[in-house]
Amino acid sequence: MKSIAHSFSMSIPTRKVTNEDLSRVMDTSNEWIVQRTGIESRYWVESPTTTSDLATQAARGSLDRSPGAVEAIIAATLSPDYSFPGIGVSVQHKLGLPPVPAFDVRNQCCGFLYGLEMADALVQVGKYRRILVVGAEVHSTGLDMSTRGRDIAVLFGDGAGSCIVEGVEDSRSETRPQALEIIGSELHSDGAHVEELWCEHPGSAHFPTRITQELVAEGKVFPLMNGRKVFEHAVKRMTEVSMSLLSRHGLSAADVNLFVPHQANLRINSLVASQLGLREDQVWNTIQNFGNTTAATIPIGLSCAFEAGRLEPGQIVLSAAFGSGFTWGATLLKVVRG
């Protein structure tokens, strides 16, 4: 039995926010954002739209491409509609599915790769045959839009991406659209770095009250990041885990046709690619248009790559991510159908 991830889809809000737009509300500039991150625009929700709304829209696209029952949902986000429950149950309800299990994955920027590994494992043990995997975020309503929050606020976009993971006996006769065989994955975490990239409040770590007006005034309800440290670790860990995964499967970077990394910073992806020995044209970036959509960057990237006709049968695709936790990982895929 092989697991294939297929029928990729994405949902992006309609409100395009340019760097110029941001420079009107905080002390930043198009030049700074483009030079330091590569981001030119991102899309933010413009009317009440929840993370599960975007996740559901993306999921509908996957189910339109490949109609049929799904036996479980795995939904990854760091920006759920509510503190609890997670978005998985809302996606189940909004899609009108029968009461299938809905797993919620956190793992931030690695959420989609963690979700794919779970789906692959559940398919391989024979528990479920067809699983919807979705990564979605609404960041825009949770950012500090003042100059105090500029190092973070300019980075993030809203969006969702999804696919269906399915067990197949023989991927060579594959008929499902946009299909990638999951060759393998390697995931890691190191919680020593929780405070380097986090949103501290509200949380049960705080006694006797999770949230106060003072904490709100201090901006402790917004994400905070030690940018330079995260940058250094991201380059090191994404390179390391990619090499390790390739070598475990008897491959090298020379076998990779397309690298579809997480989208946190164009400079991070360039450095990882050069350390792996990949050319710039082998790296698939979407951050210029969409910013960092966290758990959604990789399914959005794969969806765009398929739509652009960039993936052809037989090609090897490497994906890698790094984010809050710290968590990091890589997944190796083989295109079975474009």
Interacting residues toward ligand UT7 by CB under 6 A: 28, 32, 36-37, 109, 150-151, 154, 227-228, 230-231, 234, 264-265, 268, 292, 323
In the complex, least distance from residue 9 CB atom to ligand UT7, rounded to whole angstroms: 22
Tokens of 6: 């297929």
Structure-block tokens of residue 303: 């969806």
Judge whether 165 and 3 are in contact, CB under 8 Å.
yes
Residue showing the smallest CB distance to ligand UT7 in the complex: 227
Helix (H, G, I), strand (E, B) or coil at 94: helix
The distance of closest approach from Cβ of residue 113 to ligand UT7 in the complex, given in angstroms and rounded to an integer, is 13
Q: How far is the CB of 227 from ligand UT7 (least distance, A)?
A: 3
Given the residues 107, 109, 110, 201, the one annotated as active site = 109
In the bound state with ligand UT7, the residue whose beta carbon lies nearer, of 264 and 271, is: 264
Instruction: Quote the CA–CA distance of 107 and 109 in Å, as a whole number.
Output: 6
Distance CA 65, CA 8 (A): 8
Rounded to a whole number of angstroms, the minimum distance from the CB of residue 32 to ligand UT7 is 4
Distance between CA atoms of residues 296 and 11, nearest Å = 9
Cβ proximity to ligand UT7, 37 vs 52, nearer residue: 37
C-alpha–C-alpha distance, residues 168 and 170, integer Å? 6
Tell me which residue of 333, 1, 3, 4 sits closest to 169, measured CA to CA. 1
Of residues 12 and 183, the one with the C-beta less far from ligand UT7: 12
From the candidates 6, 201, 262, 285, which is the catalytic residue? 262
Give whichever of 184 and 227 is closer to ligand UT7, judged by the CB atom: 227
The token duo for 18 is: 């340019």
Cβ atoms 139, 157 nearer than 8 A: yes
State which residue, 43 or 128, has the beta carbon closest to ligand UT7: 43
Work out how close the CB of 271 gets to ligand UT7 at its nearest, in angstroms, rounded to a whole number: 11
Q: Give me the residues paired with residue 105 across strands.
A: 76
262 is catalytic: yes
- Provide the token pair at 161: 């991406």
Annotated catalytic sites, by residue? Answer: 109, 262, 292
